Chain A
Amino acid sequence: MAIAPVPTTGATTPPAGRTARPAGAARRDWRMAAEIVLFTAPALVLFAVFVVWPILRAVQFSLYRWKGFGPLVDFVGLQNYVSVLANGVFTGAVAHNLIIVVASILVQLPLGLALALLLNRKMRGQGLLRTIIFVPYVLSEVIAGVVWFQLLQPGRGVVEALLGTVGLEGPYQGFLGTPSLALPTLVVVLTWKYVGLAVLLFLAGLQGVPDELAEAAQIDGASWWQTQWRVTIPLLGPTIRMWAFLSMIGSLQLFDMVWILTGGGPANATTTMATFLVNEGTKRQNYGIAAAASVVLFVIALVMAVTYQRFVLRRDTAEADVPRGVR
């Protein structure tokens, strides 16, 4: 074979010691690019079709008055947003979501923490206890909701029967049928359903708390409570803050449990943003309104997430934040 006398471009001439490297590398690059595309394409396509596209469409729908049939022609600008934000039911729903966010954290955090600290002590049946406390979390919200709906039935549910045995009377229209009680009742059921998750995550966090610190505190004469309060709980900070974040986002999207327990009632006392938009979209075919509501929901979630990240989570992630360089 003729030996090519040092080609300057070199890319297409295979042999010869020095130029072979870039040539081979180029082919490898090509091959690698093909592999990257091949490997990521299915996920990207699925993601684009079923996540990105519908979200973009939601933004588009929100700018039209559309009943779900015919072409999308009735452009109304931001009018859907105006009517959503002026709608007392929707603003009520936003308030309910925010109440649930705050109440979930205020109730589940101390409860979850107390249970986690308790379960972290040496005791018999610890593994079993941890399993049991997680059971409600494993059940679907629908199944949990249906059971609770039955338990709370006015007049014939077991909750009122149990209250009766201690001489208390249930509300006439039941816990879910009385507007002032429906939301607190919902919070109680959500606590039952989700406190296990908090406990589990806190227990995981406790595994990472070195024992020596607690031991040192106790040698210094701290009581069990002081040790927990001053040493253990502060060290759980990152886990607690991450749990609160998850809980927040989940509370904003709440749908299943409300739909089953109250359908948003009575008198919209438990409507959430999600039940509002599903109602508008599927029952009343107000797709523009529903889409505007969903965009508002997303913006609220995003603002909360970004704010939380900025002011609360940042210190946890600051040291882990250094991006790993491409090798």
Chain B
Amino acid sequence: MTTTTRPTTVPTGPATDHADDGGKGRKPRQGSGRGEGGVLVYLVALVVVGLTLGPVLYAVLGGFRSNAQLAADPAGLPDPWLLDNYRRVLTGASFWTYAVNSIAIAVITTVVTVVFGLMAAYPLARYPFRFREQLYMVFVVGLLFPATVAIIPLFILITRDLSLGNTWWGVALPQAAFALPMTIVILRPFLMAIPRELEEAAIIDGASRLQFFWRVLLPLSAPGAITVGVLAFVGSWNAYLLPLLLLRGEMKTLPLGVADFSTQYSSDTAGVFAFTTLAMIPALLFFLALQKRIVSGLQGAVKG
């Protein structure tokens, strides 16, 4: 249907074309006729940085202030710097409980998505069989179904029919299911791009298709698997609606914890900032560590 054609152009090759997003060492194309950055450009860049990071930094700094400081001068800096808000959050049990839940659910989601996605993408990419394109289409059409549409029946299915209501698996499995279409759409062309000769050589050497999958394809598809893994992890880590409906009390994830804390202690702005800041850190660190993967994944998914 609509988005079906996108995937065929995805395979930008295992992780080579995104290597140049740093400022230095770019291809010669950079210096060419393009206007060099003048003062104005840097000024605009500075404004953009300020607007982009401002709210985040304000929250980080707000965590080092007291509510009295915030009330007296909302736009000021911490004076004196207080560690108390952060200490309270870090020594309280709930933050760590939520963090563990978030990690567990994100890890399960990622593993299930990547393993099932790779397995399904393999025959869809490399086996010649009759209903292959139709089978692929089933997943592609899945791209069109937002989780929101199915959320109420999903809630009933998980809580009543499967009794997975307040569990890690109850959130992770549907998240993985909804992540599968994008995963397969990204992985299939990736697996297709692996040269035919490798497969022939492996078969001449006496390997079965399964051995080929295990020994040759899996290692070669690592970059693609990491991309979809990162997407699944980030998606799960940031998810709100499904956890909101399914998880209670001790089982909540960090986004739920942040939202709860914010409504419960809405007047304790400094405390909210501290809690929110600490909840941001894992995602930000993860992003910084795997930035190139996320970026190339997103670019790959949209490159037309």
Residues of A within 8 A of B (CB): 32-33, 35-36, 39-40, 42-44, 46-47, 49-51, 53-55, 57-58, 61, 68, 115, 118-136, 138-144, 146-151, 153, 156-158, 160-162, 165, 192, 196-197, 200-201, 203-205, 207-208, 211, 214-215, 218-219, 224, 227, 238-239, 241-243, 245-246, 249, 252-253, 255-256, 259-260, 274, 277-278, 281-282, 287, 290-291, 294-295, 297-298, 301-302, 305-306, 308-309, 313, 316-317, 320-321, 323-324, 326-327
B198 contacts partner chain A, Cβ-Cβ < 8 Å: no
Contact of B153 among A55, A136, A196, A211 (CB under 8 A): A55
CB contacts (< 8 Å) of A139 on chain B: these are 56, 238, 280, 283-284
Residue interface mask B273-304, A partner, CB < 8 A = 1: 10010011001100110010011001100111
A241 to B133, CA, bound (A): 26
By the criterion CB–CB under 8 Å, are A158 and B74 in contact?
Answer: yes
CB contacts (< 8 Å) of A323 on chain B: these are 133
CB contacts (< 8 Å) of A40 on chain B: these are 119-120, 123-124, 135
By the criterion CB–CB under 8 Å, are A46 and B124 in contact?
Answer: no
Contact of B269 among A156, A203, A207 (CB under 8 A): A156
CB contacts (< 8 Å) of A54 on chain B: these are 150-151, 153-154, 157
Interface-centre pick from B116, B142, B176 (highest chain A CB count, 10 A): B116
B298 smallest CB distance to A (angstroms): 6
By the criterion CB–CB under 8 Å, are A61 and B240 in contact?
Answer: no
A136 to B32, CA, bound (A): 32
Listed A/B pairs (5) with beta-carbon separation below 8 Å = A132-B53, A139-B284, A150-B273, A207-B17, A317-B304
CB contacts (< 8 Å) of A253 on chain B: these are 146, 148
A320 to B209, CA, bound (A): 29
B95 smallest CB distance to A (angstroms): 13
Contact of B177 among A46, A120, A243 (CB under 8 A): A46
By the criterion CB–CB under 8 Å, are A321 and B240 in contact?
Answer: no
By the criterion CB–CB under 8 Å, are B255 and A320 in contact?
Answer: no
A215 to B299, CA, bound (A): 25
Question: Given known contacts A129-B49, A297-B149, A305-B3, is B240 in contact with A124 (CB within 8 Å)?
Answer: no
Question: Given known contacts A54-B150, A142-B240, A274-B148, is B129 in contact with A200 (CB within 8 Å)?
Answer: no
Interface bracket on B: 35 or more
Question: Considering only CB atoms, which chain A residue lies closest to B112 in the complex?
Answer: A46
CB contacts (< 8 Å) of B298 on chain A: these are 197, 200-201, 204
A129 to B50, CA, bound (A): 11
A42 to B120, CA, bound (A): 8
A130 to B292, CA, bound (A): 11
By the criterion CB–CB under 8 Å, are B48 and A129 in contact?
Answer: yes
By the criterion CB–CB under 8 Å, are A151 and B34 in contact?
Answer: no
A40 to B1, CA, bound (A): 21
By the criterion CB–CB under 8 Å, are A125 and B23 in contact?
Answer: yes
By the criterion CB–CB under 8 Å, are A135 and B255 in contact?
Answer: no
A143 to B238, CA, bound (A): 9
A132 to B280, CA, bound (A): 14
B97 smallest CB distance to A (angstroms): 17
Residue interface mask B73-85, A partner, CB < 8 A = 1: 1110000000000
Question: Considering only CB atoms, which chain B residue lies closest to A138 in the complex?
Answer: B287
Residue interface mask B34-67, A partner, CB < 8 A = 1: 1111000110110011011101101100100000
A68 to B8, CA, bound (A): 43
By the criterion CB–CB under 8 Å, are A150 and B127 in contact?
Answer: no
A235 smallest CB distance to B (angstroms): 11
B280 smallest CB distance to A (angstroms): 6
Question: Given known contacts A36-B127, A124-B37, A156-B269, is B21 in contact with A294 (CB within 8 Å)?
Answer: no
By the criterion CB–CB under 8 Å, are B155 and A131 in contact?
Answer: no
CB contacts (< 8 Å) of B241 on chain A: these are 255-256, 274, 278
B204 contacts partner chain A, Cβ-Cβ < 8 Å: no
B219 contacts partner chain A, Cβ-Cβ < 8 Å: no
A143 to B240, CA, bound (A): 10
A246 to B56, CA, bound (A): 25
Question: Given known contacts A35-B123, A123-B42, A200-B298, is B34 in contact with A147 (CB within 8 Å)?
Answer: no
B30 contacts partner chain A, Cβ-Cβ < 8 Å: yes
By the criterion CB–CB under 8 Å, are A165 and B56 in contact?
Answer: no
